[in-house]
Amino acid sequence: MNRQNAFKSIHLTNTAWLILCIGYILVMALRQAGFRWWVIFSLSGYSALLIFLLISLYLFAIFRGIDRSQKVQTEHPLTTTIYYTVFYDISPFLGGLAGCLGMIGVSKISEFPPAVALGTLATTFLVWVVVDPVTGSVEKLLPASRNHRIERLALAKALRQKRQEEQKLLLEAILAKEQQEQSLWQQVLEPHAEKLALLLCKQEIGNKQTENEVVNIGANAWRTGGLNCMRQLHSMAMEICRRKYQDSMIIDYISAWWDGIGGWRTQSY
């Protein structure tokens, strides 16, 4: 078992111990208040609050573990050490041990479980909620930590800006390439667009020869430049049909005839 798995096992074990102690405290408090067992463990009773609290604590432990794993050692020289990590993870057990030591000399065995549970809860709250955040904040104020943080953030900002510039240049190159292709296709597709507009405005929908001609033109456009070329040819043909033949209500049969050619789909238009 490597070090990371060992720390994970210790952390989960101590978290389970903490949850067990909290559950014991809540149950005993409800019992002392006069509630019966069937009320405590009823789904419609106080067990809903108990379950919610336990899940919240478990998620808190997981997220704290993730946050700790993301700390930079230079900026956190103490809280990233093995000794501090072990102390942080076993703090629930240390609290339980402190509760046991505090009961030395007490003869009643029934008083030990509450003392252990309260010691666990108090120590864990002190270490996880008070000591750890304060220690981490103090570490950030150290000159070396502060300077390293400034350099790290500046480097991250520079890398982010560089990545944005690269993406911008890539997008501009793609757009320039598309514009160049469209300019080249404009001359090549002009006669095909004229023919498509003529065939479309003839309204010979049932003519098999007309449909075959339109399909052949679309297939040639696909072989020339793919879907973008087909879209440009379609747009040019529709524009010529509206402008030259003065028909603003023309029905787009080209899309239906081209359906299935390459990546062309009728639903796109």
> Which pLDDT belongs to residue 204?
58
Residue holding tokens 């890398």? 159
Where does the pLDDT of residue 159 fall: very low under 50, low under 70, confident under 90, or very high at 90 and above? very high
Six-digit token pair at 203?
A: 């309204």
Residue holding tokens 């430049």? 225
Rg (CA), the chain: 37
> Which pLDDT belongs to residue 79?
84
Query: By percentage, how much of the chain surpasses pLDDT 90?
Result: 7
Q: Count the residues in the chain.
A: 269
Average pLDDT over residues 123-132: 87
Q: With 50 as the cut, is the pLDDT of residue 44 above it?
A: no
> Which pLDDT belongs to residue 246?
67
Q: With 50 as the cut, is the pLDDT of residue 43 above it?
A: no
Q: What is the 3-state secondary structure (H, E, C) of 88-126?
A: HHCHHHHHHHHHHHHCCCCCCHHHHHHHHHHHHHHHHHH
Whole-number Å distance between alpha carbons of 137 and 192: 71
Average pLDDT over residues 155-168: 93
Whole-number Å distance between alpha carbons of 41 and 57: 19
Six-digit token pair at 107?
A: 């003869």
Angle at which helices 91-102 and 3-32 cross, to 10°: 50
DSSP 8-state assignment for residue 74? T
Q: With 50 as the cut, is the pLDDT of residue 83 above it?
A: yes
Where does the pLDDT of residue 63 fall: very low under 50, low under 70, confident under 90, or very high at 90 and above? low
Q: With 60 as the cut, is the pLDDT of residue 12 above it?
A: yes
Where does the pLDDT of residue 110 fall: very low under 50, low under 70, confident under 90, or very high at 90 and above? confident
CA angle (196 as vertex; 192, 197 as ends), nearest 5: 120
Query: By percentage, how much of the chain surpasses pLDDT 70?
Result: 78
Give the residue, 71 or 253, on which the prediction is more confident.
Answer: 253
Q: With 60 as the cut, is the pLDDT of residue 62 above it?
A: no
Residue 261 backbone dihedrals phi, psi, to 5 degrees: -80, 115
Compute the Cα dihedral for 183, 188, 193, 198 and give only its sign: positive
Whether residue 265 contacts residue 245, with contact meaning beta carbons closer than 8 Å, is answered with no
Q: With 70 as the cut, is the pLDDT of residue 30 above it?
A: no
